[in-house]
């Protein structure tokens, strides 16, 4: 189940990062980028690569938040410990679910 959720996060984020990469660098020349007032001394390929991964991580964060918010209350409140291994004073030790 978690592998499937990771694909729900990673694949759309990859596609969004690719589109963002094309849109941004259709308008921005990587050789003219500046950081803190100084010219960025990176090659074009390095700028493209780093920016793609930054875009991908940002889109993955957005997709992960969406996946987290889509969890059902049962999934959020489920105790990861099996009922027979829970301590006696555990609030979830009853057979309510």
Q: What is the pLDDT of residue 28?
A: 93
State the Cα–Cα distance between residues 18 and 69, nearest whole angstrom: 25
Q: What is the pLDDT of residue 29?
A: 92
Whether 96 shows a pLDDT value over 70: the answer reads no
Residues 6+ apart with CB under 8 A from 53: 17
pTM for the structure as a whole: 0.73
Sequence-separated contacts (24+) of 2-11 with Cβ below 8 Å: 5/67, 8/63, 8/67, 9/60, 9/63, 9/64, 9/67, 10/60, 10/63
Query: Tens digit of pLDDT for each residue in 72-94?
Result: 888 777 777 777 887 777 765 45
Q: What is the pLDDT of residue 92?
A: 55
Q: What is the pLDDT of residue 91?
A: 64
How high is the mean pLDDT of the chain? 87
Query: Tens digit of pLDDT for each residue in 20-64?
Result: 999 999 999 998 999 999 988 899 999 999 999 999 999 999 999
């Amino acid at each position: 189940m978690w592998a499937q959720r990771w694909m729900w996060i990673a694949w759309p984020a990859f596609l969004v990062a690719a589109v963002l990469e094309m849109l941004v660098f259709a308008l921005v020349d990587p050789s003219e980028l500046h950081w803190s007032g100084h010219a960025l001394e990176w090659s074009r390929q390095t700028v493209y690569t780093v920016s793609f991964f930054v875009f991908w991580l940002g889109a993955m964060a957005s997709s992960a938040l969406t996946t987290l918010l889509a969890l059902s209350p049962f999934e959020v409140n489920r105790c990861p410990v099996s009922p027979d291994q829970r301590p006696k004073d555990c609030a979830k030790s009853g057979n309510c679910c």
